[in-house]
Amino acid sequence: MHKSHSTHIIALTVLGLGLLIAAFAMLIWNHSIPAVAQEPELPEANGQAVADYILNENPYQDWGSWTPDRWTDFGAYVQGAEPHGSTIRIFVNDIAQEAVAAEDFDGILPPGSLIVKENYMGTPEEPGDLAAITAMYKVEGFAPEGNDWFWLATAPDGTVNAEGAVEMCSACHAQEGNADYLLRYAFGEEPVTFFGDPLPEADGQAIMDYVLQTNDYTTWASWPTDDVNTEDFSGFLQSGEPHGMTVRIFVNDRALAAIERDDFNGILPPGSIVVKENYMGTVEEPGELAAITIMYKVDGFNPEANDWFWVKAAPKGAVDAAGAVEGCIACHAQEGNSDYLLRYDLPHSALDEMEATEASGD
């Protein structure tokens, strides 16, 4: 009896020690593995709620960005344009990044995706102080006609300046070819070149307001010089009536970006704008600006003449002629002209050149 009782006590003691050791081991295990951080619950579709989320609850500067591709290093400051300023920096939340990385990604970001863009006025090398924060937040059912994007613009401290279905944001980001309303990233494919301002409607005065005020044409470049186009288009050029004796040509980014693409087919895309300043004097002494003439390609406007919308205006923008101007079309339609251009021969794609070479037997 005594022996049995002793055995029972020993067994209980061993069991107790075992439980104590197990508990101690579990305590050490729990302290050795940090708890997995849980992202805060996503905000409602409200400007201040979204601002609080990206600035305080889940600080956007802790996020990553899009995977760098051959066109843009998203981990750095990159060149921007109005209305975002000259330089931007992009941050993307995990929901969006994981969606793009998934094998079954269909090109449409899921609800909960958040993209934050820091806006700066300086250069990528010297961006200066943060000027504003803009964000895209996909909220299921918020605005189906705009892929459910909720737009936000705030001051650096989070003060909300614009929110919701912001028409200007939607219009700019809805440009043809953009990937789910994104301007700078096309999920690994070649993106549409970023153009800062929504393009004007097919209206003479709207176009003049655009090139004189919204997107000052005098800041644009001109046609590049190449083996075929040997003129220096950066300065004054000799011309003739009806444009005067001297002209100066400016071309918007959309047109210039198009001709640099390997698959460019010799026809400028919708949105291309060519501005020609008209002078009565010589190249050496052009005198005062006499008129401004414009070619603006508007998809579907006038298919029989390559959709060009023509404008002639006084130097300060008063419109003298606009639309499918017969005199302009007839002159620019001369045989041999390149997509109705008089002074510049548009390049053809590398594929077209290769096919032409093969056909000639060279």
**DSSP result, 21-68:** HHHHHHHHHHHHSPPPPPPPPPPPS-HHHHHHIIIIIS-GGGSB-PPP
Average pLDDT, the chain: 85
User: Which tokens sit at 325?
Assistant: 């101007």
Lowest mean pLDDT among 6-10, 57-61, 349-353: 349-353
Q: How far apart are CA 43 and CA 112, in angstroms?
A: 9
> 193-226 pLDDT, tens per residue?
554 456 889 999 999 999 999 889 999 999 998 8
Q: How far apart are CA 19 and CA 39, in angstroms?
A: 36
Topology alike, domains 47-173 and 204-355 = yes
Q: How far apart are CA 51 and CA 57, in angstroms?
A: 9
What average pLDDT score do residues 95-123 get?
A: 95
Confidence band of 79 (pLDDT split at 50, 70, 90): confident
User: Which tokens sit at 267?
Assistant: 């026809």
Q: How far apart are CA 87 and CA 178, in angstroms?
A: 20
pLDDT of residue 97: 95
Whether pLDDT at 98 is above 60:
yes
| Residue 223 near residue 251, CB atoms below 8 Å | yes
| Residue 204 near residue 310, CB atoms below 8 Å | no
More confident residue, 334 or 153: 153
pLDDT of residue 75: 79
| Residue 78 near residue 184, CB atoms below 8 Å | yes
pLDDT of residue 69: 72
More confident residue, 237 or 4: 237
Q: Residue 41, Cβ neighbours under 10 Å: how many?
A: 9
The pLDDT > 90 percentage for the chain reads 55
More confident residue, 333 or 12: 333
pLDDT of residue 262: 66
Whether pLDDT at 315 is above 70:
yes
* Domain boundaries of the chain, sorted by first residue: 47-173, 204-355
User: Which tokens sit at 60?
Assistant: 């956007």
pLDDT of residue 172: 84
Using alpha carbons, list the distances in angstroms from residue 337 to 16, 251, 255, 340: 96, 17, 16, 6
Closest listed residue to residue 156, CA positions, set 203, 112, 118, 210: 118
pLDDT of residue 151: 98
More confident residue, 47 or 358: 47
Confidence band of 104 (pLDDT split at 50, 70, 90): very high
More confident residue, 288 or 124: 288
Phi-psi region of 187 (alpha: psi -120 to 50; beta: other; left: phi over 0): left
More confident residue, 27 or 74: 74
Q: Which residues contact 191 (CB under 8 A, 6 or more apart)?
A: 71, 72, 178, 179, 182, 183, 184, 185
Burial class (CB in 10 A: 0-12, 13-18, 19+), 125: exposed
Confidence band of 255 (pLDDT split at 50, 70, 90): confident
| Residue 148 near residue 138, CB atoms below 8 Å | yes
3-state percent helix, strand, coil for the chain, nearest multiple of 5: 30, 20, 50
Whether pLDDT at 33 is above 80:
no
Which H or E run includes 238?
A: strand 237-238
More confident residue, 80 or 157: 157
DSSP letters of 126-189?
A: S--SEEEEEEEEE-TTS-GGGTTEEEEEE-TT--EEEEES-HHHHHHHT-TT-BTTBSS-BTTB
Is domain 204-355 given the CATH code 3.50.70.20 in the classification? yes
Burial class (CB in 10 A: 0-12, 13-18, 19+), 349: middle
Residue type, 206: A
Whether pLDDT at 263 is above 70:
no
Domain 47-173, CATH among 3.40.640.10, 3.40.50.150, 3.30.70.141, 3.50.70.20:
3.50.70.20
Q: Which residues contact 322 (CB under 8 A, 6 or more apart)?
A: 203, 204, 205, 207, 309, 310, 311, 312
Helix segments in 67-108, DSSP class H: 94-101
What average pLDDT score do residues 101-118 get?
A: 95
Whether pLDDT at 112 is above 70:
yes
pLDDT of residue 10: 56
Strand pairing report for 308-313 and 289-297: antiparallel
